A and B are shown apart, each in its own frame.
Chain A
């Protein structure tokens, strides 16, 4: 199992904004349904990459390939290569549980465990054995809540239930939970679509801060959100990547007519 970065790889990755995930010719099949057609995409380290496209275009399918979430879907088959720091994550030696610690995920609907705020965040470090003692665990929980921008709002009720928080707070709790297992990459599948504009703005601000230390890939239906928060954008359509590049370029002068048609609201 080579998926935890060793020192050499770490040094190499510290070269700013190098490619952390290289995807080559990825195809995904759900039974007979060919959902993703030969997708090749490089994800840059410490940047936010947005995946946009109409419903059913394959963007969530692609996202779920990166932490092997599709392994849990019956009849799902993935071909091609997804290299994380030079290691094929579909290689036989890769432990997907450790992979999912390194590649965390935040979902559309906030899904805190029916446990206390503290235990929600402590859950991952406990099962991965990341804390030697109670003080270590406290440190991880508090730091994660701090990084998720939630600590001020919850510090005096860490042992109240996570499900009692507001939607936006729950989503940031889920982000704290993902951060607690020290991931390098965070996948977000429409993380703001169930949130009001203020809660959305807080999550967007958080994403902007997190990119200093994490690589973020986000699926969003809001093109304004993609434009606001990401540096790279990939446009998916009918299971293919139509266009990928700098967000600024893609939203001011896209190269492909289909991209232009979609982002300007002419089809979709």
Chain B
């Protein structure tokens, strides 16, 4: 329902929670972008900054928690208001994880930069960009209360999983061919896994948005394309 509450400060407090989530999401998105860029540019300074920026997202999560708890205690929200507050609590905790993944990528960039580049990094920016756009659309869907866009994001995660699968295989092959690359390739696999997990988290938020707007959780099983947990590469000599 579009019209405001009789008590206007209630509207302001709900809006404030919503804005804090969007701000958090914006920060998490730019941290992912910076983490990936620090990899392609071999930019240790940017990686350090990105790690440092994680604290701001942690602080915002705390802020969302405080505001949501206050709303629950003082306003007794129900129906769509209740769903907004509960969704904000859940989304904030997911976004905090997203920023952690970006920080973890940055830490691995710093480690990689201590030795010459031995591994192919080209798939990471592609995956990073795909997932960054997922974050962007998720935030748009959240801000506009658009379940269709949320559902679209939800479906796109499968492409990320497929890219991750092929990258996983590529890096395994690379390591077999040149054991000196094992350290850097392992870091890259973890980076790719981090990005892939961020994509999973976006599907999670997309589901929360659908619930928040419609009151119903999506019933379709979540698309799952990450097959690396069961992947084996056979050695040709064995």
Give the B-binding residues of A (Cβ under 8 A): 223-224, 227, 251-254, 257, 259-261, 263-268
Indicate if the CB atoms of A264 and B80 lie closer than 8 Å.
yes
Q: B79 interface residue, CB < 8 Å from A? A: yes
Give the A-binding residues of B (Cβ under 8 A): 1, 3-7, 10, 76-83, 214-216
Indicate if the CB atoms of B5 and A266 lie closer than 8 Å.
yes
Contact residues in A for B78 (Cβ distance below 8 Å): 223, 227, 251-252, 263-264
Least CB separation from A250: chain B residue: B79
Indicate if the CB atoms of B79 and A265 lie closer than 8 Å.
no
Complexed CA–CA distance, A257 and B6 (Å) = 16
Complexed CA–CA distance, A196 and B79 (Å) = 27
Complexed CA–CA distance, A223 and B75 (Å) = 12
Known: A260-B1, A261-B1. A254 touches B79 (CB 8 A): yes
Indicate if the CB atoms of A265 and B80 lie closer than 8 Å.
no
Complexed CA–CA distance, A260 and B83 (Å) = 12
Known: A264-B79, A265-B7. A253 touches B215 (CB 8 A): yes
- Which of B5, B82, B216 interacts with A265 by CB under 8 Å? B5
Complexed CA–CA distance, A268 and B1 (Å) = 14
Kindly list the 4 A-B residue pairs having the minimum CB-CB distance in the complex, ordered from nearest.
A253-B215, A251-B78, A265-B5, A260-B79
Indicate if the CB atoms of B216 and A253 lie closer than 8 Å.
yes
Complexed CA–CA distance, A223 and B6 (Å) = 15
Least CB separation from A223: chain B residue: B78
Known: A253-B215, A261-B3, A267-B3. 19 other contacts (CB 8 A): A223-B78, A227-B78, A251-B82, A253-B79, A253-B214, A253-B216, A257-B1, A261-B1, A263-B79, A264-B1, A264-B5, A264-B79, A264-B80, A265-B5, A265-B6, A265-B10, A266-B1, A266-B4, A267-B6
Least CB separation from B75: chain A residue: A265
